[in-house]
């Protein structure tokens, strides 16, 4: 049976929308490895894009940034749909969301 998370839906969505590229929502939800992944992608992309003269490194930095953007949008959509789990495997539910027995995550 899927249990609801104790974490605030509104806080998680706000963190994801505003600080999504930095992975703050993952740290809030107890998913620290994903948080460090997002943070590493952002910092790596920033360093490669703004502190290099090599075209290849700038392109690689843009690729890292694109991966981070796609991942952040995916997480935000899953949060908005009420289908994202916190670090304890509990569903971060939007207000009024009912748990269905056929929910497969």
Residue 60 covered by a domain: yes
Angle between helix 32-50 and 55-80 (nearest 10): 150
Flag whether 101 is in a domain.
no
Quote the CA–CA distance of 76 and 21 in Å, as a whole number.
Answer: 11
The contacts of residue 9 (CB under 8 Å, 6+ apart) are 79, 82, 92, 93, 94, 95
82 dihedral zone (left: phi>0; alpha: psi -120 to 50; beta): left
Residue 1: the pLDDT is 66
Residue 30 domain flag? yes
Domain that holds residue 39: 9-92
Q: Can you tell me the mean pLDDT for 52-72?
A: 94
Query: pTM for the whole thing?
Result: 0.86
**Residue 98 in domain:** no
Domain count, the chain: 1
Is residue 81 assigned to a domain? yes
Is residue 53 pLDDT above 90, yes or no? no
Task: Give a yes or no: residue 100 inside a domain.
Answer: no
Contacts of 70 (CB under 8 A, 6+ apart): none
Check pLDDT > 60 for residue 65.
Answer: yes
In-domain check, residue 16? yes
Residue 97 binned pLDDT confidence (cut-offs 50, 70, 90):
confident
Q: Based on DSSP, count helices (H) and strands (E) in the chain, helices before strands.
A: 4, 2
Q: Report if residue 85 sits inside a domain.
A: yes
CA of residue 12 relative to chain centroid, distance: 9
pLDDT in tens, 6-44: 999 999 999 999 999 999 999 999 999 999 999 999 999
């Amino acid at each position: 049976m899927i249990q609801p998370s104790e974490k605030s839906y509104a806080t998680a969505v706000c963190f994801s929308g505003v600080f999504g590229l930095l992975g703050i929502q993952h740290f809030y939800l107890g998913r620290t490895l994903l948080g460090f992944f997002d943070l590493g992608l952002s910092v790596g992309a920033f360093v490669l894009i703004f502190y290099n003269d090599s075209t290849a490194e700038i392109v690689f930095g843009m690729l890292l940034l694109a991966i981070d953007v796609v991942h952040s949008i995916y997480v935000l959509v899953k949060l908005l749909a009420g289908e994202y789990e916190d670090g304890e495997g509990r569903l971060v539910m939007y207000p009024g969301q009912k748990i269905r027995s056929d929910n497969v995550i």
